[in-house]
Amino acid sequence: MYKKIISPFLFLFDPEKIHTFTFFLIKVFFKIPILGFIIESFYKVESPKLARKLFGLTFENPVGIAAGFDKNATHISEFEKFGFGFIEIGTVTPKPQDGNPKKRLFRLKEDTAIINRMGFNNDGVTKIKNRLKKNYNVLIGGNIGKNKVTPNSQAKNDYIICFKELYDYVDYFVVNVSSPNTPGLRELQSKEFLNDLFIELNKLRSNETIKKPILIKISPDLSKEKIHEILEVIDTNNIDGIIATNTTIDYPNLKSKNKNETGGLSGAPLYDKSNEVISFISKKTNGKLPIIGVGGISTPEQAVKKIEAGAHLIQLYTGIIYEGPGIVRKINKKLLNQEL
């Protein structure tokens, strides 16, 4: 029903406006007392065989929502009902920011893809932290970044602020240094910056009762030499995992009318590229480094292949837009049958 009726209607409107409006409708519909129970009973696939234990956490299933979808942590309870095993919020910055000028989100329907240049638009760490004070029944990741106005020489402080503020309210952290939509951010994937940052973050969490996992999200556009360098930083600093990958700015041959827009490309054209990065990391680390695989998953079969490439968990973003929330149920059913 989603692909035949709902998405054709939604796709008549501006992507960012309809995203906001859909979020509003979800809030309204979930105020109907029985609706949450009905949705959960239909979408959620429950089985101990789907559970994954990684970096001290137990995920009910390996299918999560990638950062950027519910960046302000406004719909965690609702999305949990759709059967996701974890939800990553953010990217969160210390100060609220509007992001880049609109129009900044583009569908590429013929390519089953999206180009975005959102620019870390979010409500800021204080507001988002307050929303996370509720008790949720799903694991939450906190994706953190720097404000656009913060120079790279002071970027470490932005990550530290977000880390401190969110520490008691998320289950794991993701250091985002790979978005192409904040000027200069990808330069922070350097060995020097990451070593400096991780030393500080490790000092902070060593003073906490509970050790929260720290992951890093990397670009699919890095050379193998650069990825290997980051893996050395991860090993040196006892970082818990890696997310592969963020969006790409290395566009393949695209068909859609929006193919020349600038920003990060996600969806089907990214699928093979992210799998190559995942496979490279898995082989370099003998499968021991936890990998969250994201990029272009829109079918259960693609989810299986991403896990076979080396991902321990997977995340969806563009696949939800094109396939609807039912994709998570289909993937979990497939994984359950294959017992991956």
Catalytic sites, residue numbers: 179
Strands of the 264-267 sheet, one edge to the other: 105-108, 113-116, 264-267
DSSP code of residue 4: I
Question: What whole-number distance in Å separates Cα of residue 175 and Cα of residue 187?
Answer: 13
Q: Which residue has the tokens 């359950």?
A: 336
Unique residue bearing structure tokens 């620019």: 119
What residue spans of the chain are helical by DSSP H? Answer: 7-10, 15-29, 35-43, 76-81, 125-131, 155-166, 191-206, 224-236, 271-284, 300-309, 318-323, 326-338
- The answer to whether 206 and 215 have CB atoms below 8 angstroms apart is no
Alpha-carbon distance of 42 to 299, in angstroms, equals 19
Q: What is the DSSP string of 96-132?
A: -B--SPSP-EEEEGGGTEEEE---S-B--HHHHHHHT
